[in-house]
């Protein structure tokens, strides 16, 4: 009988054990949704290179299916080695809001930043059904002095404008909408289940009209695919037109798990680029410093041209997967009545109950295997 998992030791532990124990919530043509019980929601990123201290991911896996996605490796920690597993097996974190309420304390966080959506999109299709992201925002709306950023391709973020405004009243919050190109055809083959570029720009405008700090994240920039001056300027100009407060950018990097999805994509759609990419990534998952410097200079020039400041309060990380996890703070918080997430009923009235990219666990292998960071 076939299994999703590779053969493993007799005693499977940590997140792999949790994945094996996950129960199916729903099977549909595009993906299977599974319910997983995790030990923590708020995960610490200790690397000084990262522009945030804490990460949160409402789900494991992402249905958007972006061919360049760096986060596919996170499913390997659960014993899955096929690259498609990341977009076809979506794990819904049970009781996420209750766990966050226990862990979240502004006094203990000390003004440190929280990134929501670093290894999975918090507004992927599963969110419409299970509402985990909204339940987490409800907890944050009841807190104060937080520094929150949300990174997404999902226009569903506009659903939560009410909660984002409540969070902004007591804390700092910004939304980063990822947009690699305005070319709808190119976007469809790169990110084939994600909302179209026009829908993301519409969401940006709606957020700005609601007074939410929101901008565009051009990431990843891909050599000979999206790195032309014309493509980058089109995105930056559209960001300005739709009221963006900021523009961030970063270039492609490909870990082995990401290469498994990206190189077949190249062979199908850009066969003339296969050898060039193979040479670029033959020795490293990262593009050369010379390439990065050239692209960042170009983006900086285009940002100045369109009225965006040079200085970046938040700089998207280039290698978040290098971050290490420290043991989570066990934070005590009064019991709060919160919705139980993980059922198939969407959470529509959660709001009445009471500054960013990569691994939501951002796990090191040790902590991922132990299950201490999910």
If pLDDT is split at 50, 70 and 90, which confidence band does 83 have?
A: low
Selected residue with higher pLDDT from 312 and 212: 212
pLDDT for the residue 166: 97
Query: What value does the mean pLDDT of the chain take?
Result: 79
pLDDT for the residue 81: 72
d(CA 125, CA 128): 6
Q: What is the mean pLDDT of residues 254-263?
A: 91
Measured on CA atoms in the order 26, 32, 38, 41, is the torsion positive or negative? negative
pLDDT for the residue 26: 59
**What is the 3-class SS of the chain, one letter each residue?**
CCCCCCCCCCCCCHHHHHHHHCEEEEECCCCEEEEECCCCCCEECCCCCCCCCEEECCEECCCCCECCCHHHHHHHHHCCCCCCHHHHEEEEECCHHHHHHHHCCHHHHCCCEEEECCCCCCCCCHHHHHCHHHHHHHHHHCCCCCEEEEEECCHHHHHHHHHHHHHHHHCEEEEEEECCCCCHHHHHHHECCCCCHHHHHHHHHHHHHCCCEEEEEEEEECCCCCCCHHHHHHHHHHHHHCCCCCEEEEECECCHHHHHHHHHHHHHHCHHHHHHHHHHCCCCCECCHHHHHHHHHHHHHHHHHCCCCCCCCCCCCCCHHHCCCCCCCCCCCCCCCCCCECECCCCCCHHHCCCCCCCCCCCCHHHHHHCCCC
Q: What is the residue extent of each domain of the chain?
A: 14-312+324-370
d(CA 176, CA 50): 16
Whether the per-residue pLDDT at 31 is higher than 90: the answer is: no
**CATH code assigned to 14-312+324-370:** 3.20.20.70
Whether the per-residue pLDDT at 75 is higher than 60: the answer is: no
Selected residue with higher pLDDT from 5 and 61: 61
pLDDT for the residue 354: 26
pLDDT for the residue 15: 55
Q: What is the mean pLDDT of residues 254-271?
A: 93
Q: What is the pLDDT of residues 342-371, one digit of tens each?
A: 333 332 332 322 223 323 333 333 333 333
Q: What is the pLDDT of residues 302-314, one digit of tens each?
A: 999 999 987 544 4
Q: What is the pLDDT of residues 313-329, one digit of tens each?
A: 444 333 333 232 222 22
Lowest mean pLDDT segment, chosen from 12-16, 189-193, 210-214, 263-267: 12-16
Lowest mean pLDDT segment, chosen from 10-14, 51-55, 79-83: 10-14
pLDDT for the residue 53: 79
Angle of helix 96-103 versus helix 132-141 axis, rounded to 10 = 30
d(CA 192, CA 311): 33
Whether the per-residue pLDDT at 252 is higher than 50: the answer is: yes
Lowest mean pLDDT segment, chosen from 47-51, 133-137, 297-301: 47-51
Q: What is the mean pLDDT of residues 184-210?
A: 97
């Amino acid at each position: 009988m076939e299994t999703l998992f590779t053969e493993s030791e007799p005693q499977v532990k940590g997140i792999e054990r949790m994945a094996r124990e996950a129960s199916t919530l729903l099977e549909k043509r595009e993906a299977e949704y599974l319910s997983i019980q995790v030990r923590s929601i708020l995960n610490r990123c200790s690397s000084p290179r990262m522009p945030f201290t804490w990460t949160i991911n409402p789900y494991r896996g992402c249905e958007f299916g972006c061919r360049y996605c760096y986060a596919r490796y996170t499913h390997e920690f659960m014993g899955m080695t096929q690259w498609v597993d990341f977009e076809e097996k979506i794990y819904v974190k049970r009781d996420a809001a209750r766990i966050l309420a226990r862990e979240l304390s502004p006094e203990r966080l000390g003004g440190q930043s929280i990134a929501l959506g670093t290894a999975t999109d918090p507004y992927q299709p599963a969110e419409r059904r299970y509402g985990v992201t909204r339940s987490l925002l409800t907890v944050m709306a009841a807190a104060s002095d937080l520094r929150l950023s949300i990174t997404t391709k999902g226009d569903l973020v506009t659903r939560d404008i009410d909660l984002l405004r409540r969070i902004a009243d007591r804390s700092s919050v910004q939304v980063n909408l990822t947009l690699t190109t305005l070319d709808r055809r190119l976007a469809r083959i790169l990110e084939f289940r994600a909302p179209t570029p026009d829908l993301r720009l519409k969401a940006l405008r709606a957020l700005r009209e609601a007074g939410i700090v929101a901008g565009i994240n051009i990431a990843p920039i891909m050599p000979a695919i999206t790195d032309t001056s014309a493509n980058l300027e089109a995105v930056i100009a559209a960001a300005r037109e739709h009221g963006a407060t900021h523009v961030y950018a970063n270039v492609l990097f490909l870990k082995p798990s990401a290469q498994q999805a990206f190189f077949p994509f190249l062979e199908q759609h850009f066969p003339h680029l296969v050898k060039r990419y193979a040479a670029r990534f033959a020795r490293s998952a990262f593009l050369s410093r010379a390439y990065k410097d050239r692209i960042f200079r170009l983006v900086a020039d285009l940002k100045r041209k369109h009225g965006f400041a040079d200085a970046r309060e938040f700089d998207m990380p280039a290698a978040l997967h290098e971050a290490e996890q420290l043991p989570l703070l066990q934070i005590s918080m009064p019991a709060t009545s919160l919705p139980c997430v993980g059922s198939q009923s969407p959470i529509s009235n959660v709001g009445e109950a009471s500054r960013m990219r990569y691994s939501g666990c951002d796990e090191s292998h040790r902590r991922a295997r132990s299950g201490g960071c999910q």
